[in-house]
Structure 1
């Protein structure tokens, strides 16, 4: 099974990662989590190409950084398509699926109005738009994507429910 773990930057990310444990997965870290995640990365992903150089500098090593447009720090462009850009986490889910993922688990992307693990504004004013992006693509992702927390967990289910990870 080809499992990917998309690691977002909500404050709950540390609890989500603790619950995930050391299960094997190819990890795609999103935005500021690129530098904060201490495990091995398969890739980084961001919809914020203008910050790619900052994200790249936050983590040494050889790993691709996906963004929809070329910019300093971006090593692979992967275009946005038809509202797949609901959030950078949804963008990372699409990258995982297009790179052969059988299962994608989302950690630290609950899509609620809680804080990030770093100081930032609440997502409250963008939640409806972001959730619309995820909801629009539920038919395409619901069988292969699960989430560890929040609204995305309610919408997609938890990866430990049933035998989903082993199907």
Structure 2
């Protein structure tokens, strides 16, 4: 089994991460959006539906002396990042599975990336898909959450055997991880 940890931007992300660490180490870490600038550890895959912000997030990461992610993923093949000799995104893929007409958030895109990269045990931290949750970098509830829940429902049959969540609605939809599940 290959395991991946997905780090989202909800206020619960840091607590979720601490709990997930109790399961041991993971084969990869996938960070999304603002977590790219704030997570101090090694990041294997940077994933976002907003790749135009990669430059900003990398500036924040660089300012803190954090190592850059190994691989950048986007849904837009024309995206260029960086200043003075921009470099392309490493992997370009559709953020939707068949049957999805809309996005399920950068969190669902990260799960798709993990599955397509061969990970069969994925744990979500800070991806509760709960409108009452704010992001870790502000206190405003995430009012847009309802626009993304239908896509999670459509993708659920694809995700449910390989993905678990530490908190929120995604924990209700997919279940909480266990050591037995991680090793099975």
> Common fold, TM-score beyond 0.5?
yes
Q: State the partner residue of 1:32.
A: 34
Distance in 2 (CA, whole Å) between partners of 1:163 and 1:62 is 30
Q: Aligned-pair distance for 1:153?
A: 0.3
Candidates 63, 73, 89, aligned match of 1:75: 89
Deviation at 1:33, TM superposition (A): 0.1
Q: Structure 1 residues 145, 130: closer, same or farther in 2, change over 3 A?
A: same
Cα drift, residue 85 of structure 1? 2.8
Q: Is the 8 A contact 1:146 1:157 kept in 2?
A: yes
Instruction: Mark the runs of 5 or more structure 1 residues left unpaired by the alignment.
Output: none
* Native 8 Å contact 2:5 2:123 kept in 1: yes
- The 2-side partners of 1:112 and 1:135 are apart by 14
In the aligned structure 1, how far is the partner of 2:69 from the partner of 2:50? 20
Alpha-carbon offset, residue 63 of structure 1: 1.6
How far 1:83 sits from its partner (Å)? 4.5
Q: Is the 8 A contact 2:45 2:69 kept in 1?
A: no
| Structure 1 partner of 2:124 | 106
Given that 2:30 and 2:45 are in contact with CA atoms closer than 8 Å, whether structure 1 keeps it comes out as: yes
Give the alignment's Cα RMSD to 1 decimal: 1.8
The answer (yes or no) to whether the contact 1:53–1:72 under 8 Å persists in 2 is: no
What is the CA–CA distance in structure 1 between the aligned matches of 2:137 and 2:70, rounded to whole Å?
A: 23
- Whole-angstrom CA distance in 2 between matches of 1:30 and 1:54: 13
| C-alpha distance in 2 between matches for 1:110 and 1:83 | 21
Partner Cα separation in structure 2 for residue 147 and residue 65 of structure 1:
23
Deviation, structure 1 residue 102 = 1.2
Relative distance call for 1:64 and 1:17 in structure 2 (3 A) is same
Match of 1:112, SS? coil
* Alpha-carbon shift at residue 43 of structure 1 (Å): 1.1
The unaligned stretches of length 5 or more in structure 2 are 63-67, 82-87
Q: Counterpart of 2:108 in 1: which secondary structure?
A: helix
The offset of 1:65, in angstroms, is 1.6
Which deviates further from its counterpart, 139-148 or 112-121? 112-121
Q: Which moved more, 1:31-40 or 1:49-58?
A: 49-58
Q: TM-score, normalized by length of structure 1?
A: 0.90
